[in-house]
Amino acid sequence: MKRIGMLTSGGDCQALNAAMRGVVKTLVNDKQKVEIYGFLDGYKGLIYGNFRMLTGNDFSGILTKGGTILGSSRTPFKTIQDPDENGLDKVEAMKQNYHKLQLDCLVILGGNGTHKTANLLRQEGLNVVTLPKTIDNDLWGTDMTFGFQSAVNVATDAIDCIHTTAASHGRVFIVEVMGHKVGWLTLNAGMAGGADIILIPEIPYDIDKVIEKIEEREKNGSRFTIVAVAEGAISKEDAALSKKDYKKKLASKKYPSVSYEIADRILQKTGREVRVTVPGHTQRGGSPCPYDRVFASRLGAEAGKLILDGQYGFMVGYKNREIVKVPLEDVAGKLKMVSPDASIVKEAKLLGICFGD
C-alpha cells in the first residue's frame, strides 16, 4: 500500500488537473493499493492538515478542466520559514502532518516558489516528487512547463482580436502579456500573433527604437503597429538603475503597469495615442490545449512511475523531447530566461520583429 499526499501551489494554470489525473491513473492502474490525500489550497492544506481523501473517480473527466480541483494559494511562499500569525512553525507543521498520515511521499505541482519549498521539504527528509507547472515556462531543468502553451493560445487570441481592430482604425496597440520576470510567453504569443514589436525583460528596450519602428512602418504604408509587451519588460534606463532604485520606482506606481508607461512615453514623444489591452488572469484560465493535455499527462504518468519505483527527490521534466527526472536541488532557486542570443530571438529578428534593442 502506498499513501500519497498531493497538492497544487502558486498561481493556477491549465492542465494541473490533467497532470494529477496522469499521476493517479498510473498509480491506480498498478496492482498495489493506493491512498491519496489531496491537500487543499496548496501548502496551506499541508500546514493545517486540511485534506480530502481522493479516489480514481475524482480524477475522471478532469483532463480538459481548467484550474485545480485541489485549490491553490500563494500565501506561504515568501515566508515559509517564518512562523504564521499564531506562532506556528509552518515547516515543522508540514513535517508533522506528513508523518502523522504516514505518507510515503508528496506529489507537489507548482512553479518556482513552490519548488523552493519542495526542495526544503526534501532536505527535511520528506519524499517529494514535483511537476513543473507555470504559464511562464521559467523553471530551470525542463525545456517546457505545462500551462505555457495554453497561455500562449489565450494571449495569441487576444492579439488576434486586437489585430483586426488595430487594422481597421489604424492605431498603435499594446497587448500586455504575462510571464512574470521572463519573456517566453510574450515572445511566443507575439510571434504567433504577428506582433511588430516584442518587448521582453531579457532585452531591455530603448523607447526611441520602438518609436523608430512604428514610424518606419507608417512610412512603408502600414496603418497600424502591434506591440507585445511582457509584464516584466524593462527599459534600458530602468535596467541601468540599482535594484533598490528600480524597486523604489515600481513602488511609486505611477502607472498601473509597464505597458501604460510605454504608451505614455510614446504619447509624450510623438503625440500618438496608444491603446493598451491587458488580458491578465484570463491567460492562466480555461481548458488546457491538446498540447498541454498530452504533455501534462505524460509528466504525470512518469511521476506515478517514480513513486511506484520509490524514487524521490525529483522534478519530472522535459529535455530534448524526452521526459526526464531532475534532482530537486538542481531546480530550486533558478530561473530559465530567454537568452538574447537564442535562435528563436534571432529568427524573430530575421522576420523583422523589433525588440527595441
Tell which positions 38-67 bind a copy of itself, by CB under 8 A. Answer: 41, 63-67
Residue of 12, 41, 136, 292 marked active site: 136
Q: Is residue 168 involved in binding a copy of itself (CB under 8 A)?
A: yes
Q: Is residue 169 involved in binding a copy of itself (CB under 8 A)?
A: yes
Site string for a copy of itself, 303-342 (x = CB under 8 A): -xx--------------xxxx-------------------
Contacts of 204 (CB under 8 A, 6+ apart): 234, 235, 236, 238, 239, 356, 357
Kindly determine how many residues on this chain lie close enough to bind a copy of itself according to the rule CB under 8 A. Answer: 81
Q: Is residue 158 involved in binding a copy of itself (CB under 8 A)?
A: yes
What Å distances lie between residue 31 and 27, 106, 303, 346, CA to CA? 8, 20, 16, 50
Q: Is residue 71 involved in binding a copy of itself (CB under 8 A)?
A: yes
Distance from C-alpha of 155 to C-alpha of 286, rounded to nearest angstrom:
12
If the CB atoms of residues 223 and 254 are measured against a copy of itself, the closer one turns out to be 223
Distance from C-alpha of 38 to C-alpha of 54, rounded to nearest angstrom:
6
Distance from C-alpha of 144 to C-alpha of 161, rounded to nearest angstrom:
27
| Residue 138 a catalytic site member | no
If the CB atoms of residues 74 and 95 are measured against a copy of itself, the closer one turns out to be 74
Region 114-133 residues binding a copy of itself, contact defined as CB under 8 A: none
Beta strand residue intervals within 120-272, DSSP E: 128-132, 172-177, 197-199, 225-230
Q: Torsion over CA of 331, 335, 338 and 342, rounded to 10 degrees? A: -40
Provide the minimum distance between the beta carbon of 125 and a copy of itself in the complex, in angstroms, as a whole number: 28
What Å distances lie between residue 323 and 139, 221, 338, CA to CA? 15, 48, 21
Computed on alpha carbons and rounded to an integer, the radius of gyration of the chain in Å comes to 22
Q: Which of 1, 53, 100, 164 binds a copy of itself (CB under 8 A)?
A: 164
Q: Is residue 282 involved in binding a copy of itself (CB under 8 A)?
A: yes
Residue 127's nearest CA partner among 84, 94, 83 is 94
Distance from C-alpha of 107 to C-alpha of 35, rounded to nearest angstrom:
13
Pick the stretch among 125-133, 166-174, 199-207, 208-216 that binds a copy of itself (CB under 8 A): 166-174
Q: Which of 86, 102, 252, 343 binds a copy of itself (CB under 8 A)?
A: 343
Site string for a copy of itself, 82-121 (x = CB under 8 A): ----------------------------------------
Q: Is residue 192 involved in binding a copy of itself (CB under 8 A)?
A: yes
CA–CA–CA angle 347, 350, 353 (5° rounding): 90
If the CB atoms of residues 105 and 348 are measured against a copy of itself, the closer one turns out to be 348
If the CB atoms of residues 135 and 207 are measured against a copy of itself, the closer one turns out to be 135
Cβ(28)–Cβ(56) below 8 Å? yes
Region 193-232 residues binding a copy of itself, contact defined as CB under 8 A: 193-194, 223
Provide the minimum distance between the beta carbon of 18 and a copy of itself in the complex, in angstroms, as a whole number: 9
Q: Which of 112, 117, 142, 188 binds a copy of itself (CB under 8 A)?
A: 188
- Residue 253's CB is within 10 A of a number of other CB atoms, namely 8
If the CB atoms of residues 138 and 302 are measured against a copy of itself, the closer one turns out to be 302
Q: Which of 80, 93, 120, 167 binds a copy of itself (CB under 8 A)?
A: 167
If the CB atoms of residues 247 and 319 are measured against a copy of itself, the closer one turns out to be 319
For cell 479516489, the residue is: 55
CA–CA–CA angle 164, 166, 172 (5° rounding): 155
> Among all residues, which ones are annotated catalytic?
136
